[in-house]
Amino acid sequence: MELQPSHYPARRAAGVASACINYRRGGPNRVLALSNVRRAQLQGHAVNCTAEVLYHLGSQHSAPEVHFTVEGELGKNPDEADNKFYSRIKSLQEPLVAQNIPDSFGIVPPEMEPIRHLAFSACDYIIWQNSTENTWYNLAQIRDVRQVRRNDDYLEFDYTVLLHDFVSQEIIPWQMQVLWHPQHGVKVTQNSRQPKQED
């Protein structure tokens, strides 16, 4: 059955595909975002991408399956920006701590941009794993992030993010433990949904 590209079912599925792809290929200096239902956009270069999204129906929720092919090379080699970010964080005296990114006014301090991109990538794992035909998630804000010091080569961050589900309009706090390495990419080692803020 053909889906209308301008109607929401196609749009939501594309969001899931985009999430999966950004989790696999995103990082502190690279964000893949849905441009329109025929393309995925890599930091300003439009890249053609075909994806198949299979929602598993049934009582037990399991993550939608995504099979994708991307035209051309996204470039997996760690670039200069990644290495710079890595060195900067490794050499911090105190572990990095920050809140409210972006702030109420949409401001992101420039040195926090890689932290934010990393959050997009890691968040997209959570979005991909928890999506259904009746959800449409976006990362609304990083409520707080703290670096966790490690003895090995990885950088580790403990994030609490706010996800916005467009369908229910709910803001859902979510905790996630994120590892990153310039060569090995992003990994979410632990994540848990948090209780809603009571007002």
Cβ proximity to another protein, 85 vs 137, nearer residue: 137
* Region near another protein per CB under 8 A, out of 55-63, 90-98, 102-110, 151-159: 102-110
Which one of residues 77, 93, 104, 151 is an interface residue with another protein (CB under 8 A)?
Answer: 104
Q: Which of 1, 2, 6, 60 binds another protein (CB under 8 A)?
A: 6
Q: Contact 191/177 with Cβ under 8 angstroms?
A: yes
| Of the candidate residues 42, 161, 162, 186, the single one contacting another protein (CB under 8 A) | 162
Pairing of strands 32-36, 65-70: unpaired
Query: Which stretch, 33-41, 77-85, 91-99, 176-184, contacts another protein (CB under 8 A)?
Result: 33-41
- Our CB check for another protein shows the closer of 28 and 182 to be 28
Q: Does 107 bind another protein (CB under 8 A)?
A: yes
Piece of the chain touching another protein by CB under 8 A; list 22-30, 74-82, 99-107, 174-182: 99-107
- Are the beta carbons of 122 and 188 closer than 8 angstroms? yes
